Amino acid sequence: MNRVARSLTTILAMLGLALLMPVGSVAAADCSLTVAPKTGAPGTAFVFKGKGFTPTTLTLTRGTEAPQVVDVSGPTGSSFKFNLVADDSDVGKWSAVAAGCADVASIRVTLPPTATEASATTTPPPDDTTQFAGLLLLGILFLGATALFLPRLTRAARAG
C-alpha cells in the first residue's frame, strides 16, 4: 500500500508541474521588450520600450564584459520607455534584458562612417623612372647588338 501511495503522489506532483509550465510560458509571453533602431553609429539614441510588466532594471551586456545595470523604475505602471545614447566606447553588439520580462532586445553600435583602420603595411607607389630606364637600356642593347652582328650576317650571306 505504501508503494502505491508514493506512486500516486509522484504522478500527482508531475501532473501539477506539467500544468504549471504553460502558465509560466503565457506569463512570459504577456511582456515585451523592444528597441528601435537596432543598429546605429555612436551618437544614435536607442529607445527601449517595455510593456506588460513592472520594470525595475535594464541589464545591458556586451560579450564577456561585466553587465551594466540601469535603473528604469519609477511611476511608469506596467510599461516604460528608456533612451540610451551610444558613445564611441560602446561599439559592438549589446543585449538588453529587463527585470520582470524574459524578452531580450539586441542593439549593434557600429563604427562611424569616417572611421578607418590603418593599414598594416604601406607600399610606395610604383617608380616609373626605373621601368623607363630599364626599357631604354634594353633598347640600346638591342640596337648595339644589331649594329654589331648585322654586317657580319650580311657579309656571310654574300660570301656564301
CATH classification of the domain holding 51:
2.60.40.10
- The residue-averaged pLDDT of 98-102 equals 84
- For residue 135, the one-letter residue type is L
Read off the C-alpha cell for 55.
Answer: 520594470
Q: What is the pLDDT of residues 106-152, one digit of tens each?
A: 889 888 766 555 555 666 677 778 888 888 888 898 888 888 887 87
Task: Kindly state whether residues 34 and 79 are assigned to the same domain.
Answer: yes
Task: Kindly state whether residues 45 and 88 are assigned to the same domain.
Answer: yes
Task: Kindly state whether residues 142 and 84 are assigned to the same domain.
Answer: no
Q: What is the pLDDT of residues 35-83, one digit of tens each?
A: 999 999 888 999 888 888 877 888 999 988 899 898 887 666 677 788 8
129-133-135 Cα angle (round to 5): 120
Q: Within a domain: residue 50? A: yes
* Cβ-Cβ contacts under 8 Å for 56 (sequence gap 6 or more): 71, 72, 73, 99, 100
Domain that holds residue 142: 131-160
Q: How many domains does the chain have?
A: 2
pTM for the model stands at 0.52
- Which residue in 48, 25, 24, 43 sits closest to 107, CA to CA? 48
Read off the C-alpha cell for 112.
Answer: 562611424
